[in-house]
Amino acid sequence: MQQLELNSLTQKMPPPLKNTVMVIGGAEDKVHGREILHTFFMRSGGTEAKLAIIPCASREPEAIGSRYREIFQDMGAQRIEVLDIRERTEGEDPRWQEYLEQSTGVFMTGGDQLRLCALVADTPLMEKLRMKVREGSIVLAGTSAGAAVMGHHMIAGGGSGESPNRSLVDMATGLGIIPEVIVDQHFQNRNRMARLLSAIASHPNRIGVGIDEDTCAMFEADGIVEIMGKGTVTIIDPGPALYTNEGHIGPNDPLSLYNLRVHILCHGDRFNIATREVIQRS
Amino acid sequence: MQQLELNSLTQKMPPPLKNTVMVIGGAEDKVHGREILHTFFMRSGGTEAKLAIIPCASREPEAIGSRYREIFQDMGAQRIEVLDIRERTEGEDPRWQEYLEQSTGVFMTGGDQLRLCALVADTPLMEKLRMKVREGSIVLAGTSAGAAVMGHHMIAGGGSGESPNRSLVDMATGLGIIPEVIVDQHFQNRNRMARLLSAIASHPNRIGVGIDEDTCAMFEADGIVEIMGKGTVTIIDPGPALYTNEGHIGPNDPLSLYNLRVHILCHGDRFNIATREVIQRS
């Protein structure tokens, strides 16, 4: 049933959309079915879309920008602009803001999330983007580093192969598009459960969202997150009964976290971020 | 349906333990504080202990047996026997059963859990050990492979770096000392969350217990698990509201698991395995 709905959404022109934010775990299929990228393309208006690609996370913005431009052109997009911003001051360029004003879809590529934030956070361009997401006049997608920046608190880096501990994760401030979540990407692929747990211990009023490669958490206007793609999305909900020793230990000491609610979700699963409940499949 | 299974399992479960079973995540400190090994030594009777070392998981049973013998001798143990069993028929040797009858502590080393089970599962020796654990006349400890065998369902091997899926974990039958748990060891150190989740999806009436290196889950007589050591113990409780797609998908398809209760526990934390609640620290 959900499979059918999803397919029909992918294939037909979408209805007028409000506020879809596609948070992609990196390494999305760019060659074969391209399901996630095609969904972004369709939701942005299909051949009528006016797309902006923000490649600023990458150290090779030209190459990665061209790659995505070709993909969306290949799908039939007529108007695509790569916002190859190399200096913060370019975020004030009225040209980009005018283009963004007209855009129906914005795609943020992978790379380094700190680089992306350093270039665009708190610029007029980003304010414009945030406003358009909020009013529902644009579809925003971000993959890998472009996904990491979605929350207010952002995982900037970290390790794996250790017991959860505060020093296992480096936190920074993200773009705050979906402030209530902390996103981690390439999640099971790079064994990032421990670092996301460590992040949640420090920010227990957020929801951890770990997204596997070629997998997308689609945040919809109605507060529903729907999963699409090949892997899983791990939801870590600290819940009302959380206890953590986080404030009472050293940075390398192992963390306690009691009473987490965890959901492993795959294609077609849906989670209500307001009620923090998974929507049972019928 | 799963609720029914859970209830029937609860009814079939053996009575609570009467003594300590120490389930160690591998790589326990053998040189400095040796906290976990010393605790085993003391609980087994200290200098009055009569210890048996079962090195059968290892392909170098002599070397590993000697290593632990020296450690416990160094602590002051007077009577130590290494049960260096190389053939299943030796499990019937009355000599070993007589020694075990008198023993106060049994330590199972690391190695390969399938090898350990192949040599000792369902032998009279193992029946004797199981009976003595149940009646509370012996302290049992197992590290790494010696920990993996504790449940009825045993993780024999598996992978990491993938979305949870059935083929990510190889299951076998363990020694069933603590039948209600599925143990995984070297847990965060080797990024085994996804494989333990995959195991739990197939056996949702069990509790997943992932133990980090140099960390011990001490199962006590009163149904309390207390954590000791340097790392964390991850409890995965499928809980009464679990939904999983496990029965409806292919072996490589990503798993859904809704409504898991997860606890990350560290030194001094305690979990009640009967009520499935963490005991709040005072």
What is the per-residue pLDDT across A122-155, written as a single tens digit (0 to 9) for each?
999 999 999 999 899 999 999 999 999 999 999 9
Task: Determine the average pLDDT of the residues in B70-92.
Answer: 95
The answer to whether the CB atoms of B255 and A266 lie below 8 A apart is yes
Residues in chain A within 8 Å Cβ distance of B242: none
Q: Enumerate the β-bridge partners of residue B216.
A: B24, B228
Question: What's the CA gap between A9 and B168, in Å, rounded?
Answer: 32
Q: What does the pLDDT read at residue A18? A: 58
- B280 — pLDDT class (breaks 50, 70, 90): confident
Task: Determine the average pLDDT of the residues in B236-261.
Answer: 96
Positions in chain A short of pLDDT 70 = 1-19
Q: Crossing angle of helices B35-43/B61-75, nearest 10°?
A: 70
Q: What does the pLDDT read at residue B13? A: 54
**Least confident interval from A78-87, B8-17, B220-229, B255-264:** B8-17
Share of chain B above pLDDT 70, in %: 94
Interface predicted TM-score of the whole assembly (ipTM), two decimals: 0.93
- Asked whether residue B130 carries a pLDDT value surpassing 50, the answer given is yes
For chain B, give the mean pLDDT: 93
Which regions of chain A does DSSP assign to beta strands (E)? 21-24, 50-54, 79-82, 105-108, 139-143, 153-158, 169-173, 181-185, 207-211, 215-219, 224-229, 232-237, 243-244, 257-266, 270-272, 277-279
How far B171 CA lies from chain A's nearest CA (Å)? Answer: 20
The answer to whether the CB atoms of B191 and A258 lie below 8 A apart is no
The answer to whether the CB atoms of A264 and B245 lie below 8 A apart is no
- B92 — pLDDT class (breaks 50, 70, 90): confident
- How would you class B97 by CB atoms within 10 Å of its CB: exposed for 0-12, middle for 13-18, buried for 19 or more? middle
Q: What does the pLDDT read at residue A180? A: 95
The answer to whether the CB atoms of B260 and A257 lie below 8 A apart is no
Among chain A residues, CA nearest to B235 = A258
Q: Give catalytic status of residue B90 as yes or no.
A: no
The CB-side HSE value for A192 (13 A sphere, CA atoms) comes to 31
- B3 — pLDDT class (breaks 50, 70, 90): very low
Q: Give the nearest partner residue to A264 out of B197, B263, B281, using CB atoms.
A: B197
The answer to whether the CB atoms of A256 and B269 lie below 8 A apart is yes
Q: Phi/psi class of residue A136: alpha, beta or left (left: φ > 0; alpha: ψ in -120 to 50)?
A: left
Q: What does the pLDDT read at residue B201? A: 98
Q: What does the pLDDT read at residue A45? A: 96
- Asked whether residue B16 carries a pLDDT value surpassing 60, the answer given is no
A225 touches chain B (CB under 8 A): no
Q: What does the pLDDT read at residue B9? A: 46
A240 touches chain B (CB under 8 A): no
Best residue in B266, B270, B272, B282 for a mutation probing chain A (most A CBs within 10 Å) = B266
A217 touches chain B (CB under 8 A): no
Task: Tell me the three state secondary structure of residue B132.
Answer: helix
Q: Give catalytic status of residue B35 as yes or no.
A: no
Q: What does the pLDDT read at residue B15? A: 55
Share of chain B above pLDDT 90, in %: 89
The answer to whether the CB atoms of B264 and A257 lie below 8 A apart is yes
pTM listed for this prediction: 0.93
Q: What does the pLDDT read at residue A172? A: 98
Q: Which residue has the higher pLDDT, A18 or B168?
A: B168
